[in-house]
A and B are shown apart, each in its own frame.
Chain A
Amino acid sequence: MIKINVVTPSGKLFEEETTSIIVRNIDGEQAILKDHIPIVIAINPGYVRLIKGDETLYVTIVGGFLEFSNNVVNVVCQEAEIGRDHESALKHLSDLRKERLAENKRKNIDFTKAERELKEQIKNVNASKYKNSI
């Protein structure tokens, strides 16, 4: 069995045991079985396919690398998404991005409004001025 850890900046995303993995990077696919020699593969972008019996899982990766030694796979990447197939995972990832960017915009408009209101209120109360006049 191979142990696989997927790590992103926001923490450990995924930890699983599989029988074999297939890595897809820029120049094709490569399978890694048990007792493979230590290897580092750059993935940008690409995916790792986990095979465990009849089940396959896709881990789509943007910007990262895979490190294999002693039957432990460490996938270190900036963004990763797990799905039943590569396309849906990739789509989900890009949807998440878009949503996040749209949300950023919306949230900050609200925030600016609230901040302006607060400033106005502080001004109306005149608290800072009062302190000096005493």
Chain B
Amino acid sequence: MAGSARDIKNKITSTKKISQITKAMHMVSASKLRRAEKVMKDYRPFLKSVKDTIGHILSSNIDVSHKMLERRVVKKTGYLLITSDRGLAGGYNNNLFRQFLNDVKGKHETTDDYAVGIIGNKGYGYFKNKDVQIINDQVIYNRDDVQFIDIILLIQKMIDMYLLEEIDEIIVYYNKYVNSIKQDIIAEKILPVEKIEGDEKQVLYVLEPSPQEVLNTLMPVYIQNVIYGYILNAKASEHAATMTAMKNATDNAKEIVDNLTLHYNRARQAAITQEITEIVGGAAALK
């Protein structure tokens, strides 16, 4: 009996240690979330200024055109999935995969009809051995301090594919950050661009070298920036999801400890009772 009490005691200690770790991870993600939220908010004015300028060019020059603004018959679709590098974030990645696979099943007949670009270690690991065309031939990491150069190669490749008409639309899947307890999986079509509306600018700009040239340079920049914005958003979601998952893990661990403590006390009580019975029994035998 004493042996089982010791076993339970050991389990209580180890579960307590796990709960300490998950609690620490919860707090780490909480502070990371705060930072990610700030980065996301700081980024908005940047994106807006690019958008405004393009909107201005489009509204003041009617004779310019760009492939990214023209709709064409969709033969092949490019998907971009934004996943995380690490797990321990609840259903953050798995829900995204499920939603994506469901959508694809309903939309395409064969796997030749679409290709997938994946950002994040988890997504790449998941789709690597699946019957899916992957655009990036190596893992594109989605670090906490994600920078432009980490993802630019993949995005540029997808944009080039679009311009060469290898794919006819690009749809991004990501976890949209609503608030710290709610993240929605969103499928956003970024190419072709539906409409760009900027604030009306009062001044009339001269465009160098030519309106068309400026637009040619700015359109890819704009798309890259939009995707980067999504990644920052997904990053905030990731930290929020980790936070929730770790909070749950800590609560569960606490529950286990409570249960185990109850069992431990019961075992201890039983051992004492048994000892008393033995002593009483022994004393009775002596009489």
Residues on A facing B (Cβ under 8 Å) = 7-11, 25-27, 30, 37-44, 63-65, 67, 69-70, 74, 76, 78-79, 96-97, 100-101, 104, 107-108, 111-112, 115, 122, 125, 127, 130-131, 134
The answer to whether A39 touches B150, judged by C-beta atoms less than 8 angstroms apart, is: no
Does B147 sit within 8 A of A, measured CB to CB? Answer: yes
B141/A63 in contact, CB under 8 A: no
Smallest Cβ-Cβ distance to A112: which chain B residue: B121
| Min CB–CB distance B173 → chain A (angstroms) | 21
Within the complex, the shortest CB–CB distance from A126 to chain B, in Å, comes to 8
Interface string of B28-58 (1 = CB under 8 A from A): 0000000000010011001001100100010
Known A127-B18, A131-B256; contact A42-B218, beta-carbon cutoff 8 A: yes
Besides A100-B147, A100-B150, 17 other A-B contacts (C-beta < 8 A): A39-B208, A42-B208, A42-B214, A42-B216, A44-B217, A63-B221, A64-B221, A69-B205, A78-B148, A78-B152, A78-B221, A79-B148, A104-B143, A111-B85, A122-B18, A125-B14, A125-B15
In the assembled complex, B139 has its CB within 8 A of some CB on chain A: yes
Known: A30-B208, A76-B49, A127-B253. Is A38-B203 also a contact (CB below 8 A)?
yes
On whether the beta carbons of A39 and B207 are closer than 8 Å, the reply is yes
Contact B53 A100 (CB under 8 A): no
Q: Which chain A residues lie closer than 8 Å to B57 at the CB level?
A: 40
Report B206-234 CB contacts with A as 1/0, cut-off 8 Å.
Answer: 11110001101110110011001000000
Docked pose: A111 CA to B170 CA in angstroms:
31
CB-CB under 8 A for A134 and B206, given A63-B221, A78-B148, A100-B147: no
Q: B91 an interface residue at 8 Å Cβ cutoff? A: no
A38-B47 Cα distance, complex, nearest whole Å? 21
| Docked CA distance A101–B153 (Å) | 11
Interface membership of B99, Cβ < 8 A: no
Q: Is A42 touching B209 in the complex (CB atoms < 8 A)?
A: yes
Cβ contact within 8 Å between A115 and B86: yes
Q: What are 9 contact pairs spanning A and B, CB under 8 A?
A: A10-B39, A30-B208, A41-B207, A42-B213, A43-B217, A65-B53, A107-B141, A108-B141, A111-B85
Q: Which residues of B contact A96 (CB under 8 A)?
A: 149
8 Å CB contact of B208 from A7, A11, A41, A78? A41
Contacts of A130 in B (CB 8 A): 11, 15, 256, 260
Q: Can you list, as one digit per residue, whether each of B1-40 has a CB less than 8 Å from chain A (1) or not (0)?
A: 0000000000100110010000000000000000000010
- Contacting pair A38 B218 (CB below 8 A): no
B112 interfacial contact with A, CB 8 Å: no
Mark out the residues of chain B between 170 and 228 whose CB falls within 8 Å of any chain A CB in the assembled complex: 203-209, 213-214, 216-218, 220-221, 224-225, 228
A115 to B253, CA, bound (A): 20
